[in-house]
Each structure stands twice: as C-alpha cells, then as structure tokens.
Amino acid sequence: MKKNYKMIIAYDGTRYKGWQNQKSTDNTIQGKLNSIFTRLEGEEVVVQGSGRTDAGVHARGQVANVHLSVEMPVGEIQDYVNLYLPEDIGVIKMEEVPERFHARLSAVKKTYCYRIFNSSTPNVFERKWMHTIEDELDVDAMQRAGGYLIGIHDFVAFCRNPSKKKSTVRTIYSLEVMRKGEEVEIVICGNGFLHNMVRIVAGTLAEVGTGEREASELKKILEEGIRENAGAMLPAKGLILQSVEYKI
C-alpha cells in the first residue's frame, strides 16, 4: 500500500527551466525529483508541487507530495533523495501525511519574497539571487503603493497570460516592503498568484520607489485592468518562494 509523503524543498533556480517537468528537457526541479523517486520506487513516480515556479526562480519552502510503496523509514527516503539530488536542490524536511493531502490543492497561503540590491556598488556575492536597482528606492512610498493591493482584487493587470486562467481574482493578505541595509525586500502573502504576478507587482512598486509613478496609481491600475498600465516585470533571479501554508 502506498503512503503519502510531504516534502519541503529548497532550491537555487538559477540553472533550471523552472519547477514543472517538460518533455523538451530534464533540467527542471520536478524532473530531477521524479527521476530519483522513480528509481527508488521501481516504477514511474510523479511528484506534485504546490505550484510552478518559473525558470530562474528560487525556493526556500516549496512544498510537494509523493506517493510511495517502498518500505523504508521516512528519514532514509529523505537521505536517499538528497544523496542523488544536485547540490542546488535539497529536501529539507519529509514526513508522512494523510492520503487526502495534496501539495497544490490543499494549499491556502503562499508567501514570496522579491529581493532588490539597492546600491551602485557591485553585488559580487549575491548577484545571482538579487536584482540590482542603483537609484535609491523610497521604501515608504512603495509600502503605501502596496497597501492598495491588499484584499480581494482582480489582478489581471499584473498577469502575463490572463487568458490561461479561469479567474484572475486573488486575495492578498499582506504586503511588506522593508529595507535591510543595501537590500530592499518585497514580501507578499496571498491565497495564490497569477503567472509572473509577483515579478510585475515588484516592478510596479520599484517604479514608485524611484519616483517614476505615484503610489496612488496602483488603485487605478487595479480598476482599469490593463497590463500595459502596470510596471515592468523584474527578472526571475530576485524571486524566492518563501513558504506554503496548509489547514492540515
């Protein structure tokens, strides 16, 4: 009888084509995991993730689940998987969960962080994980702008491919913009996110921060629902999936 296992996975997405398995390449996070679990199980196994992260996006707390019949303690399964995963992917926690648990369908909240290096000095050691904006950012203005996004809204203006979604309405529970020395973090928590939504939100807030637009424009962008009215989409390398939350 197969058991259901929940995993928390961290990865540096720099060299991968995103989370989702693709026919054209095996260079995806899901693809790497599927291959290892298939070898362990002796038959094809498909790992279910909480959601897709795009090429170049990172994760500290991606959640996935997998059904296995192999008779091994969960700690040994985790050790086996980590032994064969590349160094930039790791299963940091693994536990048996009820059969009804599904990493995507059971999720109720997701938190992303977009990291901006706000300085004109070279960002030597973290250049792969932060987007650089040299002009000084007004964090207070960015926070005011972000306040317009909190709540239930149609985020079609912040979506790259809205036609692929049945609904573009999402709930944002919190949005914080914080300065930590030369770094500015945009941390956003919601019940789900549209394609490239967080990167477009970050780009729009950054334009508020540099004075290219007013904070109050965010309200109008939401109301009009036109993608071209929102800001530029920032690069994938600054985005991290921080955590996914569940009722169970």
DSSP 156: G
The pair of three-digit structure tokens given for residue 25, joined into one six-digit string:
């390449």
218 and 151 in contact (C-beta within 8 Å)? Answer: no
Tell me which residues are annotated as active site. Answer: 54
Longest CA–CA separation in the chain, Å: 60
Calculate ∠ Cα 120-118-217, nearest 5°: 125
Residue 237: what are its φ and ψ, rounded to 5°? -65, -20
Phi-psi label, residue 224: left if phi above 0, alpha if psi -120 to 50, beta otherwise: alpha
Q: Is 76 exposed, middle or buried (0-12, 13-18, 19+ CB in 10 A)?
A: exposed
Residue 73: what are its φ and ψ, rounded to 5°? -60, 150
- In what helix (H) or strand (E) does residue 52 lie, and over which residues does it extend? none
Q: DSSP for 21-34?
A: -BTTBS-SHHHHHH
